[in-house]
Amino acid sequence: MPPSSGDRSGAVVEPALEEGTVAIETHGCKLNQADSAVLAQEFARAGYRLVERRRDADIIVVNTCTVTATADSKARQALRAAHRANPDAVVVAAGCYPERAADDLRRIPEVSLVVGNRSKPDLVSMAISERVKRGGMAPRKNVVRGETAPAGILRRSRAMVKIQEGCDQVCAYCIVPKVRGRERSIPPAEIVEAVHRHVAAGFKEITLTGTQLGTYGFDLDGVDLPGLLDRILGETDLPRLRVSSLQAHEIGPELLKRWEDARVCPHFHVPLQSGSDGVLKAMRRRYDVNTFRRAVTTIRERVPHAGITTDAIAGFPGETEQDHAAGLALVREMAFSDAHIFPYSQRPGTSAHHMHDQVAPADKRRRARELTEAAEVGFAAFRTSMQDQVRPVLWETGRTGRGNLLVWSGLTDNYVRASAEGDAEMGNTITPARLGGLTGKVQQAVALPG
């Protein structure tokens, strides 16, 4: 297996430019965010400065998602917008979309390079070479690849560390196995070393990310997710650890013991996808509604005040109004702290793409809207229950507010966006905060002395 992105080490000497700028736009999941962070580090080691505005970049990377047709459309729009912002820049289409339809992207005139997930380790050198071919600055020095870039390069307090990728489950609707490949785990020692490097660089929180975290280690001797969590907690000084996503059938009392350590964030993303057993079976999911319900109940019994978020698909082929009604009832019952609801999107290369009983687009949109409205009831109830609680918040960004006060934004341990005024520098610090009412989806708070 090739080294994991984010955990590459060793004295590999590569050419670098004295100067250069790069903008990286990330679409989709946390796994893409982890890949983009690695690319930012590698560009930095090659002498490139990360910029936010496309027009300021010599190289523009769009790290794409292809999970829905809407994601594809957003990727194409972003690539064309990148070229309009800076016609002289090297525009790179990267990530999952190239794995599914590279030739389609190559036909877009504004795209300079198409680089899929399997070629991401070579993306930086490919992009720099393309820039040199166009008359950009030639390599002037050598740099040693293997050190983690400073936290300031990524301008984040939270980092993503990939522990595995790929998926062997092959759900009927999902393109991920095709664009990410088979499941493969990264050895624990490499992950622990990556955590050490991020902590040394100033990061206060790390999210473990991947496609199927619950099966982590199945391809390594004597390795599993609980053991990995134990190693990270026992061998590093990381202040906060977050697990990005778990399947319902993977959650049980033994795994949840790790959440007894206060450094493990009480937030669980548990994809639902459908509240109908018949639809779940057609999707080829590995749990039923009762399994999902037991997982949520177990979390709430063992991890007080946990935030539980989810995904759900409206209008999967063959879904009836009765199936939809069951989904609405379950979403209301679960009272998720947040939910991502989206209409089913046909993906070429999946078995559901060929199913004949497709749901009409108008019905899919209506069902998605109704599921969203049901989820918002749970969202409001969860946020109301948090009022007057004191929770640790990792403050990330600040802006000028009233008078000389700054308004800081951050995340609680249970994944609630909070906002507080302060006259001190709170960026990249964790402090207790008393939570108040809601403004939109943001919980107002008062930061307390640490």
The tens digit of pLDDT for each residue in 405-432 reads 889 999 999 999 999 998 778 889 999 9
Mean pLDDT of 55-77: 94
Do residues 297 and 259 share a domain? yes
Q: Which of 105, 124, 143 is the last residue of a domain?
A: 143
Q: Which of 385, 404, 419 is the last residue of a domain?
A: 385
Residue 403 lies in a domain: yes
Confidence of residue 191 (pLDDT cuts 50, 70, 90): very high
Do residues 18 and 127 share a domain? yes
Q: Is a pLDDT exceeding 50 seen at residue 150?
A: no
Mean per-residue pLDDT of the chain: 89
Do residues 215 and 256 share a domain? yes
Read off the CATH number of the domain in which 179 is found. 3.80.30.20
Paired with 435 in beta bridges are: 445
pLDDT computed for residue 156 by the predictor? 62
Range of the domain at 123: 14-143
Q: Is a pLDDT exceeding 80 seen at residue 89?
A: yes
Range with lowest mean pLDDT among 39-53, 103-117, 313-327: 39-53
**Percent of the chain predicted with pLDDT > 70:** 91
Do residues 106 and 159 share a domain? no
Task: Between 40 and 323, name the one with better pLDDT.
Answer: 323
Residue 108 lies in a domain: yes
Do residues 291 and 426 share a domain? no
pLDDT computed for residue 350 by the predictor? 92
Residue 400: burial class (beta carbons within 10 Å; 0-12, 13-18, 19+)? exposed
Do residues 21 and 93 share a domain? yes
User: CA-CA distance, 115 to 96, in Å (whole number)?
Assistant: 9
Q: Which of 93, 116, 143 is the last residue of a domain?
A: 143
pLDDT computed for residue 357 by the predictor? 94
The tens digit of pLDDT for each residue in 218-241 reads 999 999 999 999 999 999 999 999
Mean pLDDT of 79-102: 95
Do residues 203 and 325 share a domain? yes
Do residues 123 and 214 share a domain? no
Residue 367 lies in a domain: yes
The tens digit of pLDDT for each residue in 247-287 reads 999 999 999 999 999 999 999 999 999 999 999 999 999 99
Do residues 41 and 84 share a domain? yes
Do residues 98 and 203 share a domain? no
Residue 181 lies in a domain: yes
pLDDT computed for residue 137 by the predictor? 62
Strand order in the sheet with 90-95: 49-50, 21-26, 59-64, 90-95, 113-116
pLDDT computed for residue 144 by the predictor? 39
In total, how many domains does the chain have?
3
Confidence of residue 45 (pLDDT cuts 50, 70, 90): confident
Q: Is a pLDDT exceeding 90 seen at residue 6?
A: no
Task: Between 403 and 174, name the one with better pLDDT.
Answer: 174
Confidence of residue 19 (pLDDT cuts 50, 70, 90): low
pTM for the whole structure: 0.85
pLDDT computed for residue 440 by the predictor? 87
Do residues 254 and 319 share a domain? yes
Confidence of residue 139 (pLDDT cuts 50, 70, 90): low
Confidence of residue 22 (pLDDT cuts 50, 70, 90): very high
Whether the Cβ atoms of residue 359 and residue 317 lie closer than 8 Å to each other: yes
Residue 96 lies in a domain: yes
Mean pLDDT of 317-345: 96
Read off the CATH number of the domain in which 128 is found. 3.40.50.280
Mean pLDDT of 335-348: 94
Residue 9 lies in a domain: no
Residue 378 lies in a domain: yes
Do residues 431 and 357 share a domain? no
Residue 221 lies in a domain: yes
